[in-house]
Amino acid sequence: MQKLNQESFADFITEGKKVVEFSADWCVDCKRVAPDMPELAQKFADHMTFAEIDVDEAREVAEEYGVKGIPTFIVFEGGKEVGRLPSRFAKTKEQIDAFLQDYIDGK
């Protein structure tokens, strides 16, 4: 999964449908879902592109989007936030999968 930083974030979300995982190296829940992310990115590759951004290295981005807990997944279309899975609901592969599937299904 592509790693973003403060500088590359804006360019990444500008076009198309993108999913950004806000995380950190020290985050236990982020480490728990990390092994599942390649499979999820592959499953939804026809619909969106995935990337990850470290909240400690890109504090301004995390603050701009009001990310309070991690992991938080935000879906962007054309640079605008269109969906969010906050950390309290992003603890398992199944929760993340259901969120992304609901987004694709238009729920």
Question: What CATH number is attached to the domain comprising 72?
Answer: 3.40.30.10
Q: How many domains does the chain have?
A: 1
Tell me if residue 27 is catalytic.
yes
pLDDT attached to residue 107: 60
pLDDT attached to residue 106: 83
Mean pLDDT value across residues 27-38 = 96
Exactly one of 4, 19, 20, 30 is catalytic; name it: 30
Mean pLDDT value across residues 11-21 = 97
Domain limits for position 18? 2-105
pLDDT of 29 above 90: yes
Query: What sign does the CA torsion over 29, 102, 37, 4 have?
Result: negative
Percentage of the residues of the chain whose pLDDT score is greater than 70? 99
Report whether the peptide linkage leading into residue 71 is cis, meaning its omega lies within 30 degrees of zero.
yes
Task: Tell me if 2 sits within 8 A of 48, measured CB to CB.
Answer: no
Tell me if residue 76 is catalytic.
no
Q: How confident is the model at residue 1 (pLDDT cuts 50, 70, 90)?
A: confident
Exactly one of 4, 13, 27, 100 is catalytic; name it: 27
Higher pLDDT, 107 or 100: 100
Mean pLDDT value across residues 41-65 = 97
